[in-house]
Amino acid sequence: MVTAPRVHAVCRWFRGAFARAHGISAALAVIVVALAVLVTLPGQAQARYASIVIDTETGRVLHEVNADTRNYPASLTKMMTLYMTFEALEEGRLSLHQRLPVSRRAQGMTPSKLGLRVGQTITVEQAILSLVTKSANDVAVVLAESMAESEFKFALKMTEKARELGMNRTRFRNASGLPNRRQLSTARDMAKLAMALIYDYPQYYEYFSVRSFKYGKHRYRNHNNLLGRYDGTDGVKTGYTRASGFNLAASVVRNGRRLIAVVFGGKTARSRDRHIMTLLDRGFRKARTLEPLPVLTPPPHKPVQAIREAMARTSGQPAAKATPAEPVVAQGDAATPAAKPLDKLIARISEPAPEAPVPPATTRPREVKLAARELALAQGDWAVQVGAYRDSDSARQAATRALERVPQILGSSRISVTRIRGDRGPIFRARLVDLARSRAQQACRLLESVGQDCLPIQPRGGVEVAANTERRG
């Protein structure tokens, strides 16, 4: 991984050797090397806050903000580790009561962990429960090493599986979610993974609803605070690192309807929980008011095609047919083909126009093109600024509040927090970007009507022209 100290060390070395060899100044040599290093940096997380809400019965996206922006998944990574564990159980490569050895690498993992030691063993079921509740990093490595030669090779398999599930903007580098600048995902991709867990392995998905787990003398409580607190919650997973903020993927079922919500970048666990509950409340209300679509409840033993059709419905493209595996005979049942778990790319969940519901599958091609054109017109090179603050978190919160106040106008925008120099230190500007001029102006009129400062901004020649409105965060 390229780090700032490494860049500085290389630059210092080149001041002498590179400059002497090429007859240029040391300062210019430093610039050349720094630019060379920067262009090799991997894709980085672009924004901390992102969210999405999906109706799993119809495949509709009910809400999204920065849903395709790459962020650090933190322990949401363990959802994929568990997906692959469930797959290994289904295929007979693991069994629930099988005991797995603890390696020196697993022992050396940083918290959160069970504190396992080299030479100990843990059953697969205990490992599953420890990931669901304690989010144990040492146990994630134990599982990874049981399914691959090393955790790194397991992470490569995780990325391959992500591609099979249609998680096209996700890349894994470890099984736990511990910090790694190359490990990135999106809210939309994590929603797809949650759907796959529910539809592919319903018999194992129930582990995500376990409230607590006792191991040795300790009892570990599930970090998902929505369980037992928010009506209908039955999973899925929390995550946190300093770089990611507080993440959460949640599944909630009410009156036979299941919604999945994903939030990245919460400031605290409590504010994240409150926010995702608000999004889910709005999602259930919105789902009731939209034009009905055929419900795609997965039939027993054949969940794959149902989830493909649900996801394809939002893209307007036909779903790929599930490829049956070899027949599997359950005791007392007739032989039936068992579908492979999402063995091809799932049709991508497209970005719906924020003003209107997603067109039904029967919509004519011309109507679909018009809907796409309307969405394109909603985007542009304008922005709105809703304040300037002394810290980035306050700026991001201000932008998020603005988006939530007028989602019908700002739903297609992207949150941008930029740092500039001020007379008394750095200032962080809170903006929502990628807007058409008319939408930027309309958004500011609406925000000002409810007492929030707002300034439409148009970039000119790559420089944004606007006055700064300073607020103390």
| DSSP-derived secondary structure for 29-62 | HHHHHHHHHHTTPPP----S-EEEEEETTT--EE
Separation between Cα atoms, residue 269 and residue 51, nearest integer Å: 15
Catalytic option among 51, 130, 135, 146: 135
Task: Establish whether 237 is an annotated binding residue.
Answer: yes
Query: Which phi-psi region, left, alpha or beta, contains residue 415 (left: φ > 0; alpha: ψ -120 to 50)?
Result: beta
Q: Quick check: bond before 236 cis, omega within 30?
A: yes
Q: Tell me if residue 157 is catalytic.
A: no
Separation between Cα atoms, residue 59 and residue 310, nearest integer Å: 4
Helix/strand/coil for 261: strand
Separation between Cα atoms, residue 130 and residue 354, nearest integer Å: 39
Q: Name residue 417's beta-bridge partners.
A: 430
Crossing angle (nearest 10°) for helices 187-200 and 77-91: 30
Catalytic option among 78, 113, 134, 161: 78
Q: Please, what's the largest Cα pairwise distance for the chain?
A: 83
Which pair of structure tokens corresponds to residue 93? 């490569």
Q: Tell me if residue 78 is catalytic.
A: yes
- Taking the CA atoms of residue 105, residue 193, residue 41 and residue 421 in that order, the dihedral angle to the nearest 10 degrees is -110
Separation between Cα atoms, residue 288 and residue 273, nearest integer Å: 23
Separation between Cα atoms, residue 14 and residue 26, nearest integer Å: 7
Catalytic option among 75, 176, 185, 244: 75
The runs of H, that is alpha helices, within 165-298 are 187-200, 202-205, 269-289
Q: Tell me if residue 75 is catalytic.
A: yes
Nearest alpha carbon to residue 50 among 246, 300, 258: 246
Q: Name residue 455's beta-bridge partners.
A: 385
Nearest alpha carbon to residue 434 among 65, 45, 62: 65
Separation between Cα atoms, residue 222 and residue 131, nearest integer Å: 9
SS (H, E, C) 82-142: HHHHHHHHHHCCCCCCCEEECCHHHHCCCCCCCCCCCCCEEEHHHHHHHHHCCCCHHHHHH
Nearest alpha carbon to residue 160 among 67, 83, 45, 76: 83
Angle at alpha carbon of residue 263, lines to 260 and 265, rounded to 5°: 170
Kind and range of the H or E run holding 15: helix 4-22
Nearest alpha carbon to residue 166 among 185, 192, 143, 147: 192
Q: Residues at the annotated binding site for substrate?
A: 237
Q: Which residues are part of the catalytic machinery?
A: 75, 78, 135
Q: Residues at the annotated binding site?
A: 237
